[in-house]
Structure 1
Amino acid sequence: MNTVSATGLVDQTLGLLDATDLPLAAPAAAAARDLSRHLALRLRDHVRPRLSTLGAPLLCVVGGSTGAGKSTLVNALVGRPVTRAGAIRPTTRQPVLIHAADDAPWFLGENVLPGLRRTRGSYTGRQATPSDDRAPSSSDAATDGLLMVQDGAVPRGLGLLDAPDIDSVEDANRQLAGQLLAAADLWMFVTTANRYADAVGWGLLADAAARDVTVAVVLDRVPEGAAGEVSAHLREMLIERGLAHARLFVIAEQPLDEQRMLPDDSVAELRQWLTHLGSDAEARRAIAARTLAGSLRQASDDVARLAEAVAEQRDAEGELCQQVRQAYAEAAQAISEASANGTLLRGEVLARWQDVVGTGEFFRSVESTISRVRDRVGAFFTGRPAPVDSVEEAIETGLHAVIVDAAAGAAEGAAARWRTTPAGRELIAGRRLDVNGEGFSERAATEVRAWQGDLLELIRAEGQGKRFAARMLSLGVNGIAVALMVVVFASTAGLTGLEIGIAGGSAVVGQKLLESIFGEDAVRRLAKKARGQLDERVRALLEADARRFTDLLGDAPTQPAEFDDVARRLAALSDQLSAGASATGEENG
């Protein structure tokens, strides 16, 4: 095994986990976030340190349910009360790690459980207590660190860690117990004759089986005469759950002495097994390799599950984005239709345009005799047309109202669609996204004026030739731009005034005015370009407003393929370690 590349793979996995927060309330998100957090702890606390050396001392975590007698068992194995045992629950508040002097460099460093602080402890006659006066006592210490106790009774090559209860009434204790068990090379599970079938313990045992952790089960407080029946049933349960190779030790129910200690001979068999294990370097190495391979295999499975959760996140994000895009696309379409089907050439705009080009009677005459338009256009250029400012203002007001109304509808529609999904509901909870965004009306007015400025630039660019000068001066650039707006607002799919006759003579006159200056082809080109510029400005305006929704989605989640690739490589590394552990076992056999 290439340790450097293996460590690099673990670091890559940790980086992938750290970069993936699964923010959306998709069905599998909550469970996947917990899975990711627990996997990261296992990788940091156990896998990465153990990859550096399989021959380092083993971490034996003593775990079990409340009142099972874990601390009492540890004290009996050591031969004196180094960890607190008693009737008050929970008893174990700060985990105690007892180790041989030669193993201090390994356990006191950051090789095992690097995220937990260390406090050196010493024996005071009743239990181990922190040597540092500034450190909290073991009875009320926070459960975020390890109390380290050096004791010659613990065999070299093995550390005993008395963990909090797996079913503690305190959340912090339960979480820490799970973290410690996940970091174990060897797990000593302590239960009693009355509680060995409890579901909580078997859930953790199933996890140990999935990781190939070497498990020793201590059946404690067995009543006289019940050892055979109870141990036989427990053995059957272990076999059914994939733990056929677990060692089983039985401790009979018996009174404790004044120091709450078990008789020394009650743990003799268990102590002998641990001592033998501590003296057999190859056996320890095989256990470490087997557990490490199992941890990597489980990590591979977990990463594969996270790939599914990431895919679910991407699907949920895609659905939410599509809902917003659809709502705002409908708004853009509504604005485009309203600004092309003649709607804006009614009411105030039409009245002001009539003031510029002639009377209502003139418009009626246009409808009956197109030839008279040419005469009126000629008179228009030789006469003194009314100012076009009022038309410009009316167009600006009308177009602005259409845009603001359509955007409000898009916001309301997008919010309504998001409320139909758990992820969307959570994102918009407490937010007023179903109305126009702050400052949208002002931005819309700015864009309308900017578009009117675009038209002036189009007119100037098109009329650069000298032959256009006299005619353009007669009406003025602003007047020609207004005429172009009228044509744009009466155009659909590239067709203009005379071709579809929308809004009657208003479009006809605007068409003819422009054709008399630029020619028919140029008018078509100008109208098409002006329409495109308007659509582009509206689209950008709506996209900016839509980001009020899409920005809530955060960064795009990691691609599932990245997780799949890491899962495959973790599985391959697990197989490599398993093969090595099997070969070592065969050689020892």
Structure 2
Amino acid sequence: MILVTHHEPDPNREDLTSAVRTLEDAREALAATTLPLELPGADADRRRIKETLAQLDDYILPRYRSLDAPLLAVVGGSTGAGKSTLVNALVGWPVTRAGAIRPTTRQPILLHHPEDAEWFRGQRILPGLGRIHATVSQEPMPASQAGASPDAQAVSSLVLVGHPNVPRGIALLDAPDVDSISDDNRRLAGQLLAAADLWVFVTTANRYADAVPWRLLLDAASRDITVAVVLDRVPAEAEEEVRTDLQAMLHRQGLGAAQLFVVRETTLDAMGMLPADAASELQAWLSELAADAAARSGVARRTLNGAVKAISSRFEEIAAAAAEQDAADRQLRTACTDEYGAALSRILEATKDGALLRGEVLARWQDFVGTGEFFRAVEQNIGRFRDRVSAFFRGEPAPAIKVETAIETGLQAVILDEAANAAENVDRRWRADPAGRQLLGTDDLAGTSPGFDARAAAAIRAWQEGLMDLIRTQGQGKRTQARWLSFGVNGLGAALMVVVFSMTAGLTGLEIGIAGGTAVVGQRLLEAVFGEDAVRRLAHQAREDLHTTCQRLLDGERGRFLDKLDGMQSGDGVDLHPHATSLRRLAGAA
């Protein structure tokens, strides 16, 4: 349970509640942004999301919720800079492990005054780290044996140590090396520094110009964080020269306000401790800061304000990355829509220009309706035509079925060919795109899916059966029923298919071209049974149903590609720009 101190009502409490709500909304939006496509720079943007979420969880939200909590001073720096030795000197007791073996600090150790313990026992700060409660030995021991035992498997825990020599109102956190040989240690050091109210950055006379520390110091400058720089192990004869040079570097990099402390090179005692006064200046500065509530509040608000400004800029960068992802997603989807849409258009075009009435279909239809002399008889007397076809049906129904089968085979071939072309084109366009290439991987989608030929055949047969149902429904009237029963459902269905596959101008005309008078015969037959208007309605409905059938088949094939995109979507599409604006406004009001 968090310790609650008594204080006068805060007139800004409502503003703080609103600020926390703004931050929580921004965090929720950011957490829903995954950037799943492998675009250039996507890895860096994902790291930026992860780091920003950690900054919100580890520092910004906890600090806004508890502005009066003790300051957290993270002691960080390069390998061998003497961080742990410095922490022991500040406390005046070997509380954290120091020595020559690297890395000495595997588990971060948080030192606090015993009366501040309640602020750190829960998950208020650094909620992703476990808590290990430790006590300091009352018996003196070498610094090389102090603190938690190095445990490479426990870097995800925070060791809490209460000691009365730590000033109340401030806590010291001994962090791993920022340039550690351990990846986990480097990652954790960065996480801890991002959770700090102030940095105590330790470097040496030999390494103060190294690149790694300065990258972190420049990050501190960008966040306006309070920094104390400790120049450790400085030979007495070089102190003035090194101090002056480092101070000039800090000014050039926008860190002129940083406190600079020098710890001279000296011999450690038998316990591995610095002389009592070696870090007295830094110790006094920390004690004064801890004792001054207004100063502590100023440090916390300044760091907090800088952190919010920094993440507002990150939100803009991540929003731009998310927009690139959306554009790439649309481009990949457009490739699917374009290619399969074009395939559908070509299929439908092939079903209305008479092309399907060539070859086998035409031969079976002519077998069904008879010879050219019969066509002339039809033109002269539709009644005799009806009688002849009726007798033909009663004697031999098989030819009508052969027409249906020939149409099924021809239509299936067109659908298979166009579906394969579309798949090949989409595969080619996706593989030319980094995101599409990553989505496809080793999968070969440049062809129709297994079993598509059987599904296409079944769909065509279902469409043909639907046509038969249309004819039965249209023939429900007594007079019409007598007519269509005399011709047979299959015969009328075959005629309707021929009419549908001969349409070149909607329902306003029929092409008499490659099929000769074939379509006219089919149309005259249907009109003799149902009437001209009914035939138009039947043909229109049949074509609409065919369109739907082909669309569903191609949608299923297109879905193989789209499923890869849909499977990577996880809450993306959230617009982060409004949240970035709100965060900038919040930082400006702090």
TM-score, with length taken from structure 2: 0.91
The residue type paired with residue 142 of structure 2 is R
Q: Superposed, which structure 2 residues align to 1:140-219 within 5 Å?
A: 140-219=152-231
Q: Distance in 2 between matches of 1:574 and 1:439?
A: 60
Q: Distance in 2 between matches of 1:374 and 1:501?
A: 22
Q: Percent identity?
A: 52
Q: Superposed, which structure 2 residues align to 1:434-445 within 5 Å?
A: 434-445=446-457
Q: Secondary structure at the match of 1:196?
A: coil
Which residue pairs with 1:270 in the alignment? 282
Change (3 A) 1:40 1:561: closer
CA displacement at 1:177 relative to structure 2: 0.5
Matched, 1:377 2:385: yes
Matched, 1:449 2:468: no
Whether the 8 Å contact between 2:369 and 2:389 is mirrored in structure 1 is no
Structure 1 unmatched runs, 5+: 578-589
Whether the 8 Å contact between 1:63 and 1:187 is mirrored in structure 2 is yes
Whether the 8 Å contact between 1:64 and 1:191 is mirrored in structure 2 is yes
Matched, 1:6 2:19: yes
Deviations 1:20-75 (A, max 9, x none): 21111122321111111111111111111111222210000011111111111111
Whether the 8 Å contact between 1:219 and 1:248 is mirrored in structure 2 is yes
Change (3 A) 1:376 1:495: farther
Q: Secondary structure at the match of 1:265?
A: coil
Q: Secondary structure at the match of 1:143?
A: coil
Counterpart pick for 2:532 among 507, 515, 520: 520
CA displacement at 1:257 relative to structure 2: 2.1
Which residue pairs with 1:337 in the alignment? 349
Q: Secondary structure at the match of 1:251?
A: strand
Which residue pairs with 2:4 in the alignment? none
The residue type paired with residue 102 of structure 2 is R
Change (3 A) 1:210 1:218: same
TM-score, with length taken from structure 1: 0.91
Whether the 8 Å contact between 1:74 and 1:162 is mirrored in structure 2 is yes
Which residue pairs with 1:389 in the alignment? 401
Whether the 8 Å contact between 1:490 and 1:502 is mirrored in structure 2 is no
CA displacement at 1:479 relative to structure 2: 0.9
Which residue pairs with 1:580 in the alignment? none
Q: Distance in 1 between matches of 2:248 and 2:401?
A: 94
Q: Secondary structure at the match of 2:69?
A: coil
Which residue pairs with 1:100 in the alignment? 113
Which residue pairs with 2:440 in the alignment? 428
Matched, 1:294 2:306: yes
Q: Secondary structure at the match of 1:264?
A: coil
Which residue pairs with 1:249 in the alignment? 261
Q: Distance in 1 between matches of 2:186 and 2:569?
A: 34
The residue type paired with residue 58 of structure 2 is D
Which residue pairs with 1:279 in the alignment? 291
Structure 2 unmatched runs, 5+: 1-11
Q: Distance in 2 between matches of 1:240 and 1:500?
A: 87
Matched, 1:566 2:579: yes
Whether the 8 Å contact between 1:63 and 1:166 is mirrored in structure 2 is yes
CA displacement at 1:461 relative to structure 2: 2.8
Which residue pairs with 2:473 in the alignment? 461
Q: Distance in 1 between matches of 2:381 and 2:572?
A: 64
Counterpart pick for 2:71 among 54, 58, 69: 58
145-154 or 3-12: which moved more? 3-12
Change (3 A) 1:141 1:429: closer
Which residue pairs with 1:346 in the alignment? 358
Matched, 1:126 2:138: no
Q: Secondary structure at the match of 2:155?
A: coil
Whether the 8 Å contact between 1:400 and 1:448 is mirrored in structure 2 is yes
Q: Distance in 1 between matches of 2:104 and 2:116?
A: 27
Whether the 8 Å contact between 2:504 and 2:511 is mirrored in structure 1 is no
Q: Secondary structure at the match of 1:201?
A: helix
Q: Distance in 1 between matches of 2:223 and 2:171?
A: 20
Change (3 A) 1:244 1:130: closer
Q: Give aligned pairs, total.
A: 569
Q: Distance in 1 between matches of 2:437 and 2:143?
A: 53
CA displacement at 1:446 relative to structure 2: 2.4
CA displacement at 1:470 relative to structure 2: 3.1
The residue type paired with residue 394 of structure 1 is A
Deviations 1:81-128 (A, max 9, x none): 211112222221111111111111112222221221111122342359
Change (3 A) 1:255 1:362: farther
The residue type paired with residue 309 of structure 1 is A
In angstroms, what is the RMSD of aligned CA positions? 2.3
Whether the 8 Å contact between 1:373 and 1:512 is mirrored in structure 2 is no
